[in-house]
């Protein structure tokens, strides 16, 4: 194959990638705008723009400014955080099944939140901080258990699945002992919900995104090298152990803050990376496409859950319904063709 042909292929891939990223960005903007306009009362684009710009509009100022805008912002930040955290693990471990909600990290936050609500009677803020600390602690425990005589992705996945099963059983036991009121609160949190989103709940996640997403993007080239294996990455100049540790810390931090803000929104971290890989195609980092895909998934799922049925459903119910068949699809694909994205 000639140099000119290789250059042409790379240019074509770059144009395709740029077009896809632009399309995903446009989709996120459109879904965000729809989230602000659609609800019990429809407000047109002019009223929404006036509210967002700080003007007072009868009815719309409260509905759009105080209710819909924090909710849509939380959807974007949580979806982007889950998407980029999920694809980081999937790329680093070279397996599309290695998402945080499959390998037990989300289960740690969920168990801690349930214990905080049912057994300790903590406030919503305290539950969020407890879920954050538990997510980080669970990730550290899984990593330490998997790091024996070197690091193996398959070992980490299997240990993570075992830890998730253990934590899920603890969660089920605590729920079985809960009062009716505590059970309702715990189940609302466990399903993953944007209900009650406020700027106070958005702010910590926004700060985490501002710090950790750029850190992951800076490590994107090294992450792509790790996909080729530790030996190859080391030969390319990557400091494998420090880089892997930094990637895990950044990804788990995003996941923990997102889970603390909105609960464990099912399957978004799992679906975003593989969907982005199929849309973008081979070559290049999946971090930005996965973040945009995650944000779009959460926005659209919340719109559907709130407006498409007679009853209103939390966003986690909709993503769970989408994620279950997608998991079966990926299991069949991995069994046939291997474990890469």
Query: pLDDT at position 61, please?
Result: 84
The answer to pTM > 0.85 is yes
**Average pLDDT of span 248-259:** 88
The span from the CA of 4 to the CA of 247, in Å, is 36
More confident residue, 80 or 262: 80
* Per-residue pLDDT at 85: 94
Q: In the structure, what pLDDT confidence band is assigned to residue 29 with cuts at 50, 70 and 90?
A: very high
Of 69, 82, 20, whose CA–CA distance to 323 is shortest? 82
Average pLDDT over residues 174-183: 80
The H-or-E segment that residue 237 falls in is none
In angstroms, the CA 268 to CA 295 distance is: 9
User: Which residue is associated with the tokens 């990557």?
Assistant: 238
Mean pLDDT score of the chain, rounded to an integer?
Answer: 84
Q: What is the pLDDT of residue 196?
A: 79
* Bigger pLDDT: 232 vs 72: 72
| Count of beta carbons in the 10 Å neighbourhood of residue 33 | 16
Q: Is the pLDDT of residue 26 over 90?
A: yes
Give the highest mean pLDDT range of 127-136, 149-158, 212-221: 212-221
Give the pLDDT of residue 299.
96
pLDDT at residue 110 in the model: 84
- Which of the residue ranges 24-28, 38-42, 272-276 has the most confident prediction, judged by mean pLDDT? 24-28
How far is 190 from 167, CA to CA, in rounded Å? Answer: 13
**Rounded (5°) CA angle 161-202-74:** 70
* Res 285: pLDDT: 83
Q: Of the given ranges (147-151, 175-179, 283-287, 304-308), which has the lowest mean pLDDT?
A: 147-151
Burial bucket for residue 2 (CB in 10 Å: 0-12, 13-18, 19+):
exposed
Nearest residue to 306 via CA among 35, 29, 33: 35
DSSP state string for 277-317: HHHH-SSS--HHHHHHHHHHHHHHHHHHHHHSSSS---HHH
- pLDDT of 90 over the 80 cut: yes
> Which pLDDT score is estimated for 283?
67
- For residue 331, name the pLDDT band (cuts at 50, 70, 90): low
Name which residue leads in pLDDT, 333 or 38: 38
Residue 312 has pLDDT above 80, yes or no: yes
59 versus 26: the higher-pLDDT residue is 26
Q: Report the phi/psi class of residue 329: left, alpha or beta, with left for phi > 0 and alpha for psi in -120 to 50.
A: alpha
Terminal alpha carbon distance of the chain: 26
State yes or no: pLDDT of 204 exceeds 80.
yes
- Helix, strand, or coil here: 12? helix
């Amino acid at each position: 194959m000639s140099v000119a042909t290789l250059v042409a292929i790379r240019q074509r891939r770059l144009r395709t990638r740029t077009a896809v990223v632009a399309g995903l960005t446009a989709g996120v903007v459109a879904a965000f705008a729809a989230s602000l306009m659609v609800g019990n009362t429809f407000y047109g684009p002019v009223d929404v723009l006036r509210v967002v710009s700080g003007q007072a509009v009868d009815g719309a100022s409260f509905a759009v400014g105080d209710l819909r805008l924090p909710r849509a912002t939380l959807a974007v930040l949580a979806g982007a955080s889950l998407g980029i955290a999920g694809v980081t693990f999937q790329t680093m471990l070279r397996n599309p099944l290695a998402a945080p909600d499959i390998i037990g990290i989300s289960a740690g936050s969920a168990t801690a939140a349930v214990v905080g609500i049912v057994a300790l009677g903590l406030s919503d803020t305290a539950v969020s901080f407890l879920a954050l600390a538990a997510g980080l602690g669970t990730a550290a425990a899984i990593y330490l258990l998997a790091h024996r005589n070197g690091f193996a992705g398959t070992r980490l996945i299997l240990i993570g699945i075992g830890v998730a099963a253990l934590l899920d059983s603890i969660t089920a036991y605590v729920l079985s002992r809960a009062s009716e009121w505590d059970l309702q609160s715990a189940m609302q949190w466990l399903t993953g919900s944007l209900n009650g989103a406020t700027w106070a709940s958005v702010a910590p996640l926004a700060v985490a995104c501002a710090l950790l997403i750029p850190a992951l993007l800076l490590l994107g080239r090294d992450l792509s090298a790790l996909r080729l294996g530790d030996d190859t990455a080391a030969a390319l100049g990557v400091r494998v152990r420090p880089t892997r540790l930094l990637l895990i810390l950044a990804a788990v931090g995003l996941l923990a803050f997102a889970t603390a803000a909105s609960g464990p929104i099912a399957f978004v971290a799992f679906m975003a990376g593989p969907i982005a890989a199929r849309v973008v195609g081979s070559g290049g980092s999946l971090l930005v496409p996965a973040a945009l895909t995650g944000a779009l998934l959460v926005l659209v799922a919340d719109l559907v859950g709130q407006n498409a049925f007679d009853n209103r459903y939390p966003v986690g119910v909709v993503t769970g319904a989408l994620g279950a068949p997608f998991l079966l699809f990926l299991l069949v694909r991995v069994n046939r063709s291997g474990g890469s994205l």
